[in-house]
Each structure stands twice: as C-alpha cells, then as structure tokens.
Chains A and B, each alone.
Chain A
Amino acid sequence: MNLSLSPLVELLFFPGGLVLLASGLVYEFVDRKLVARFQNRIGPRWFQPLADVIKLLAKEEVIPAGVVKGLFIFLPIVALTSILTAALYVPMFGLKPAFSFPGDLVVTVYLLSLMTLCIGLAGANTEDRFSLVGATRALTQMFSYEAPFLLALLGPAIALGTWNIGQINSAAGNNLWFIIAQPFGFIAAVIGLMGKLELPPFDAPEAETEIVAGALTEYSGRGLALFRIGRDVELVIGLTLIASFYLGGLANPLDFLWKTLILLLVTAALQSLFARLRIDQTVGLWWRIGSIMVLLQLLAVVVGRLIAPLIPFLSSGG
C-alpha cells in the first residue's frame, strides 16, 4: 500500500509535519498512560501532552543571563528539524519513505543523534550547575549507547545486503523476523532507544531528584516545547525503525500500529521495572555487556553471510 503524494503535502502534512507531530503526542500519551497503569496510577488524560505543549508554547520564554542568546533560541529548532528530517527516510505509518537513497540508514541515525547533541549543547550553554551536570551526563550516555545502537541496526542491514531503510523494510517482511534471527541485536536496539530517549532506567541525564531537569533545566516556554515534541517524534521514529528492522517490516498502517504499540508496551514495562542506573553504571552496562553482545551478533551475521550460500537453510534467515 505504498501511496505516493505530492512532496509538499508529504513534507508539511502527511506523513511529515503536522501528522508526525500529532503522532508524537499520541505516543507520548500512550507511554505515560502505560507507565502510570503499571505503577497503579490513573495517568494522564488523552489530551494532556497536547495541553502541555500548548501551555509551554504560550508561556514566556525566559532567557537566562550568561547564555549565548542565539544558540539558546536556535538549538531547540535544530533539534526538532533534524528529527523531522529523519522521519522522511523512515517508513512512517507503514508508508514508503518520502525520500530514499542508498545508505540513508547512516544519515537517519546521525540525524537522531543530533537531538542528544543539541540537548548537550543547550545544557553546556547555560551557567546552571544542574544543566552542566546534565549535559555532561547526556553526552556521556550518548557515547555509550550510540555505537551499540548503530551496530544493532546494522545487523539486519548487513544480513540483507542493503543500507537503505526502505529496502530493508520491505525485505524484512519477506524473511524470517530478525527478532528471532538476531535476538541480541533486538535487545540492544530497544535498550539503545530507551537510552537515546533518556527513559527510565537510563534517565540519569535528567534525574529530577539529583539535577532537577538536567540539561534543559533553564529552558521554559517555546524552547522546552520544541525539545519535548522533538523527543516525542524521536520516540515514534525509533519505534518505527526497530519495528521495521526486527519485527518483520511495516507493510501497511495497521502493521505499523500494532507493531509499534507492542514495542511501546515493552519499553513502558521496562521503564517501570527498574531503579535508575547511575551514569557510571549505564556506561559500564553498555560497554561491558551491550557492545560485546552486539559485536558477537554482528560477527555471527557476517560469518552467516559468508557461509550462507553453502547451506540452503540459512539463506532465508540471513
């Protein structure tokens, strides 16, 4: 069901632009509601994320003393823009990616990381102690999960012999699901996404009981709203990427809906199961366990590809 729309509509309205933003808010709601139910709370009402954003947009933006003013205003815009750009290369809502070229996987992952980079810079830009500590932690965490996350996405890419997200998506549907073929990669990808989004237990960069709101402590009003929408959309993109790579591809919107929601259920459960990891524990976890797990997986994939032509059974699984 790969429709093609006029590029302008695609960019501004569907699947990019407004609908993408709306879906980010919806997924944030589902995430918050699920975590709340797991914790035996009632949780927010359906319009709460939207209400939050409207409230933040209407609020005065306080620019604290001692910051580089341009950077302070510019960073949230860059962050949101890069996330929205990344959405163009991903099969959002089970549709064909709006744009596509060989190797767009690397560009997408890079664009997703820009968000964290912007948050880190935003924190380092202010004089606030909590922001500075938060920025240090955000960047430290990025360096720890980024490599395993990328390697986890490369697993299916290498197995299928293409670095184009659209092709991986359609090919993944024709193969054995990669969650079965490459379970370690799947785990690394889900946990990597949680680290990227700073969800508990990887929320040390914004641990409220230690450093208030982390790198974004000084942000209020529009800047904070943009960062929040950016993170919501990043959640949808991340879930889409993992679902299309590991859960047998996204052929249509229905496919997209149930696969991403199941993934969201898994991440929500993980969020409520654990105590927050300290930043040193996060780094240790990724480098000691995560990286090695993914590297072994990758090694297996490469070896598998080399010997696959020899064994007919493996050629279907990758």
Chain B
Amino acid sequence: MGAEKKPEKFVVSIGPQHPALKEPGHFEFAVEGEIVTSATARLGFVHRGMEKGTESRTWVQNLYLMERVCGICSAVHAMAYAQGVEKLAKVEVPPRARAIRQLIAELERIHSHLLWLGVAAHEGGFDTLFMLSWRDRETVMDLLEAITGNRVNYSANVLGGVKIDIDEVKSAAILKGMDFLEERTRHYMKVVTEDETFLGRTRKIGTMTLEQALRLGSVGPTGRASGVPYDVRVDAPYAAYQDFPVNIVTDTAGDLEARFVVRIKELYESYRVIRELVDHMPAGELTTRIPRRIQEGEVVSRVEAPRGELFYFLKSNGTDMPERIKVRTPSLCNWGSILATAVGHRLADMPMILAGIDPCFSCNDRMILVKRGNDQTVWTWEDLRRYGIEYYK
C-alpha cells in the first residue's frame, strides 16, 4: 500500500474525474492524517485551442466562438470581445445597446453567483441550501431565456451592439424576478452568516490576508473578500457602468465566509443596478454598422466577469480575421490562492476551498484533443469537426 511504503507522503488526488469537481482539473494533496501538507494542480483537460481557432475565423465568427469559452459566464466573454473589436474599428455603440449589455451581464452575474452558492454549499455537505438556491436560480434563468431565447450562451451581443431588446412586458418580469430574488437572497445571507454548522465549515477556513491576495494576484470576489479593491466595473467603467454605477463590495476577513458574504452583497448590488437599468433604459438604436475588415491595431479589453477581471488582448492585421486573440480568464489568477491556502487545512475543507474561488475550468483551458481508447491518434479541430458531422449524419 502506498501509505506503508511512503508514510511521509500520502497523496490524495482529486480529479480529473471526481464528484467534487464537475469540471476536469487535477489536484494532488499530500496529507498527514487529515491535514494537507502540500498541494499541486494540473490543468488542461479541456484545453480546446480556442485562441488558435480564432486565427482562422472571421471577426464575426469569433464572436460565437468566444461566447463558448465558458458556459456560465458566456455573455461577458462575448461582451469583452465585442468591445475590443469595436474599439479596434473605432465604432461607437449606441447607449441603449450598452445598457442592455450591462443588463445581461448583471443578470448573468446573478445566475453565476447563485450557482456558486449552491455548489459551495454542496461541497460543504449542505445539500438543502444547494437545492433551494438552484431552485431560485431558475428565476433568473427563466428571465434570461425570456429576454434572449437561451438559458446559456445568450448570444445577446453582436459586433456593434446587441440583437435583443427589452419591452414593457419583459421589464415588468425582470422587476418582479428581482424582488423575489432579493427576498430569497436576504434569507441566504442569514443562513450563511448565522447557521452554526455551516459557519463551522466556512469561518476562518482558507483565510487569505490582503498581502497574500495581492502577492498571488487574486481578482474578483475572491480577492475582494480579502480586501483587494479591484473591480473593473468601478475602476474602468465599460458598457453603461458610467451612467449606472455599482458600488465595490469588499470584506476584510478573507476566509470562506467572507467570500460568501461578498458574493451575496454583490447580488444585492446587481439587483439594485438592474432595477435602475430597467427604470431608466435609454432610448435609441440597438446597433451600429461595423466593417467586415477591421483596421490594424492592438487593443486591451477588460470586463468584470462574475469571477473577476476578464482580460482580452486583440490584435488585428487589417484583414477579416484576427492576428491574435489572447484571453486571460479570472479563474487563472485565482489558482494560486488555492494552492497557497490549502496547506495546513483538513482534507475535508479542500472541496470548499476549491469551490471558494468559483473555478471555471473551461475558462482556463482552450484546445481540443480527443483520445478514444487505445487509439493513439491525436485529433485536430478539423478532424473533430468532420467526425462530429459524420457521427450525427
């Protein structure tokens, strides 16, 4: 037995297939009894080569590819990409389109944070909270479906604007949904800050000080829970955040409880700003024309995804295809915080610490490589596409 041969290093590996992680990532925790003494990570199990893929697609096609970087925060990817392309083409997006973009992004944040709340509760063995928060999440999913036609990958953004509009009926539905969700969220806030057994799993667990968070480059709610005051929505307002500002939410505790509290308070902010958006939606056009060939140049496009700062670097060579698109997703910044805070905690806390940053594996990995059985063939994108077409003929 491994334990007898090397008693000083008993490694428990979590992933790539493991019930705690619904997405593939591999972690090895060396444990002494229940205490974790070291942690390593291995990513890339769902690397799909998207950055490479963008170089052989047109600017318009890429919009739909980028939307599929991540299934949970798809709208922000499309938004970051569209904003970058618009900056490259020096096109101004109409105010109504910008407000709708922000509306979709905030609705998506609600869905993502509620999803996270459920997942994190499940990791802590609190399935009731998991089930109830996901039930309430259906409210926002239904709203998104009513507005855009899709539950995920909303395809609301197009280059130069948005392709969906908000009418009276939808506005009323959104306001009603926000009221319901706000009431439920206040209840969840009470649960995560007052339930004794749950606090036993979150308070003073996975604590990251402000200095650590800054050194590890944490972003998003993970960083803000440790007091890192970064929020792109506030620092560098995009979409309509200039006119409909949000307040930055930070905490000083830096533990798992703080990450719950910060995310729930961000939900309040989202409800508030969505109500404002719906009440004061600017009138006007939804799109502007954008050329098919984008002039040469390089831009950086940053947006605040539910998980933190999403960074796009776009380089155009003057043709209808990009020269290079670099995506740096927020989860990538936050891995360091897991590996650093894991040591010294109990094995039982690992899933919650892992879930605490709200990791998104598909965001990190962007290339396809399929291996089937003992067949040593490596498949390229093109092969896979052909295979898919053959398979479903």
* A275/B124 in contact, CB under 8 A: yes
* A207/B125 in contact, CB under 8 A: yes
Find chain A residues with CB under 8 A from B349 CB.
278
Interface stretch, picked from A71-79, A128-136, A252-260, is A128-136
Alpha-carbon distance between A272 and B198 when the two chains are bound, in angstroms: 12
Residue of A nearest to B17 (CB): A212
* Pick from A130, A272, A273, A280: contact of B34, CB under 8 Å: A280
Find chain A residues with CB under 8 A from B3 CB.
132
Q: Mark B residues whose CB is within 8 Å of A.
A: 1-3, 10-13, 18-20, 31, 34, 121-129, 131-132, 135, 195, 197-198, 200-201, 346-351
* A273/B19 in contact, CB under 8 A: no
- A32 interface contact, C-beta 8 A: no
A-B contact count (CB 8 A): 84
* A40/B132 in contact, CB under 8 A: yes
* B200/A212 in contact, CB under 8 A: no
Find chain A residues with CB under 8 A from B31 CB.
133
* A210/B351 in contact, CB under 8 A: yes
* B125/A133 in contact, CB under 8 A: no
- A127 interface contact, C-beta 8 A: yes
Of B11, B121, B347, B348, most buried by chain A (CB within 10 Å of CB) is: B348
Alpha-carbon distance between A278 and B121 when the two chains are bound, in angstroms: 14
CB distance from A147 to the nearest CB of B (A): 22
Alpha-carbon distance between A207 and B20 when the two chains are bound, in angstroms: 10
- A313 interface contact, C-beta 8 A: no
Find chain B residues with CB under 8 A from A132 CB.
1, 3
* B122/A201 in contact, CB under 8 A: no
* B1/A275 in contact, CB under 8 A: no
Residue of A nearest to B349 (CB): A278
Find chain A residues with CB under 8 A from B126 CB.
274-276
* Pick from B1, B13, B124, B135: contact of A40, CB under 8 Å: B135
Beyond contacts A210-B20, A277-B200: 7 other A-B pairs, Cβ-Cβ < 8 A, are: A40-B131, A132-B3, A204-B125, A211-B12, A273-B128, A275-B200, A276-B201
* A39/B350 in contact, CB under 8 A: no
Find chain B residues with CB under 8 A from A203 CB.
125
Residue of B nearest to A202 (CB): B125
Find chain A residues with CB under 8 A from B11 CB.
129
* B13/A38 in contact, CB under 8 A: no
